[in-house]
Amino acid sequence: MRRVLTTIATVLCASLVQADEVNIYSAREENLIKPILDIYSRETGVTVNLVTGGADELIQRLSLEGANSPADLLLTVDVGRLYRAKEAGVLQSVQSPLLDAEVPANYRDSEGYWYALSLRSRVIVYDKERVNPADLSTYADLADPKWRGKICVRSSSNIYNQSMVASMVSRNGVAQTEEWAEGLVANFARSPQGGDREQISAIAAGQCQVALVNTYYLAGLLSSSNPADRANGEAVAVFWPDQNSNGAHINISGAAVTKAAKNKDAAVKLMEYLVGDEAQHWYAETNNEFPVRDDVQSSELLKSWGEFKADDIALDQLGIHNAEAVRLMDRAGWK
């Protein structure tokens, strides 16, 4: 069934005429999405117009523009932002048998408002020289006093951290998660600062021994043409947490059709293309993100980190519990 649907999508894409276009608001960096959109345009004749900006900025822009918005499609990272867009009323539900077949149920909105295009995991990275991986186990264990003064992590204002904590709230409740956050904060080696790459660099510089980062940031350092970046990446190793329980935390990049879409059918066809064979291989090989489909191989670099169990929580829970997560992080002193 899956391959039949993919074939249907290919035929539909090939049948589009030059007059079709899709206008995209994208919170993804241009170099992380434009190349595959250019390939799509060449193959189909569909004009793809791309506007990039911050995720929250684009969601606000959609709200302000209302029915006059030129955007047909919103592309962004982290399900928390897709949930915000849905709650803001700037998205519309779509019906696509192909998207429903290719994207696992826990990686899409239950009402069809958004779909994952690629996956990433927020994992533990550790100093290969100073940390014995046998001492690592779970996210919860990072609150243990044995890690006092050894952990680096970015700010609580970061959506990736908020979503990870929201998943814990969904699993364990507010009280238990807040107790964990207090223990984690007590173990910080420094005040939260910088992005995920900076956490890895801090380990390489000896400022801390363990950090929480998204996998593709480490892949980016290891694939960099800059020797200093590669050296920082090579100083750490990946540890997959919670492999004997819920599994490693997963988040997504995703797409949603805007409520104001003037080219809805063309927008849905582009979403279908982005979960098809060509685009999924591109996400894996070029962006070092995990494919949303389990029948598409990850890049060799990601495979080198080993097989892992992924948390199968329904990702809409990350949006539902975001506000609770932010409040408890504030109370725990996670700045």
Is 88 in the same domain as 110? Answer: yes
Is 81 in the same domain as 180? Answer: no
Is 173 in the same domain as 201? Answer: yes
pLDDT given at position 32 = 86
Tally of structural domains, the chain: 2
With left for phi above 0 and alpha for psi between -120 and 50, is residue 333 left, alpha or beta? left
Is 164 in the same domain as 292? Answer: no
Q: And the tokens for 205?
A: 């510089």
Is 327 in the same domain as 292? Answer: no
Is 195 in the same domain as 99? Answer: no
Q: What is the pTM (predicted TM-score) of this model?
A: 0.88
Is 290 in the same domain as 214? Answer: no
Is 207 in the same domain as 319? Answer: yes
pLDDT given at position 75 = 97
Residues 53, 323, 314, 303, CA torsion sign:
positive
Q: Are strands 290-291 and 151-152 parallel, antiparallel or unpaired?
A: unpaired
pLDDT given at position 127 = 98
Domain ranges, residue 127: 120-248+310-331
pLDDT given at position 16 = 37
Is 316 in the same domain as 175? Answer: yes
Is 298 in the same domain as 315? Answer: no
pLDDT given at position 31 = 84
Angle between helices 79-87 and 55-65 (to 10 degrees): 20
- Domain at 155, CATH number: 3.40.190.10
Picking from 242, 255, 152, the residue whose alpha carbon sits closest to that of residue 205 is 152
pLDDT given at position 309 = 96
Within its chain, how far is the Cα of 151 from the centroid?
22
Cα(148)–Cα(138) distance, integer angstroms: 16
Is 84 in the same domain as 125? Answer: no
Q: Which residues of the chain have pLDDT under 70?
A: 1-19
Cα(37)–Cα(332) distance, integer angstroms: 42
Is 16 in the same domain as 92? Answer: yes
